[in-house]
């Protein structure tokens, strides 16, 4: 699996995560979306990383001994039914993308969610134009469920997002095939 590991984040990782969040906010047209309040929240989230805290499981992606990204499994209170998780993934550097690191990280995360965190459904939403993430979803067995129209606000107006999901039964069938 490309030497990919999912690891608890450390306080030393906060700066790297903050730079990635700033870049993400800028790419969505919100250059001022990551400030001191967001940095403080990120520090708190990193302190809780490694274990599901009832609303989020945040883990770092390490490959080759370095932090190359992060994954989150979110279950916001009153936002999703019990046993349903929404995923987020970010491979930080363009040079690390396209090497299977995201696919491997997502596979490890799905194993954990279905076996340890009692998930019965895991879903991902991504910009309809994010071909790389859509390929990762398809390679890991997610089914395309449709388009969420005008879903994500951006500085240029709302964007359509694609919805993918996989169930525990689908994952079991895939793992035993």
Where residue 33 falls among pLDDT bands split at 50, 70, 90?
low
Instruction: Give the H/E segment covering residue 27.
Output: helix 14-27
Q: For the residues 45-69, what does the mean pLDDT come to?
A: 94
Q: How many CB atoms lie within 10 A of CB 36?
A: 7
Of all residues in the chain, the percent with pLDDT exceeding 90 is: 68
127: Cβ–Cβ under 8 A, 6 or more apart, which residues?
133, 152, 159, 160, 161, 162
Q: Higher-confidence residue: 25 or 133?
A: 133
Question: Which domains are seen in the chain, by residue range?
Answer: 5-176 (3.40.630.30)
Q: What is the pTM of this model?
A: 0.87
User: What is the C-alpha end-to-end distance of the chain, expressed in Å?
Assistant: 18
């Amino acid at each position: 699996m490309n030497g990919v590991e999912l690891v608890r984040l450390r306080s030393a990782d906060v700066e790297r995560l903050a730079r990635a969040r700033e870049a993400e906010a800028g790419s969505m047209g919100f250059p001022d979306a990551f400030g001191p309040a967001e940095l403080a929240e990120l520090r708190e989230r990193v302190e809780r990383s490694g274990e599901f805290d009832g609303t989020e499981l945040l883990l770092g992606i390490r490959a080759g001994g370095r932090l190359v990204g992060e994954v989150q499994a979110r279950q916001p209170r009153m936002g999703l039914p019990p046993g349903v998780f929404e995923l987020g993934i970010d491979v930080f550097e363009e040079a690390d993308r396209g090497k299977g690191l995201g696919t491997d990280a997502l596979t490890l995360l799905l194993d954990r969610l279905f076996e340890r965190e009692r998930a019965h459904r895991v879903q991902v939403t991504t910009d309809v134009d994010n071909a790389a993430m859509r390929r990762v979803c398809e390679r890991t067995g997610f089914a395309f469920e449709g388009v969420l129209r005008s879903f994500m606000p951006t500085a240029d107006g709302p964007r359509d997002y694609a919805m993918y999901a996989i169930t525990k039964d689908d994952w079991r069938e895939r793992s035993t095939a």
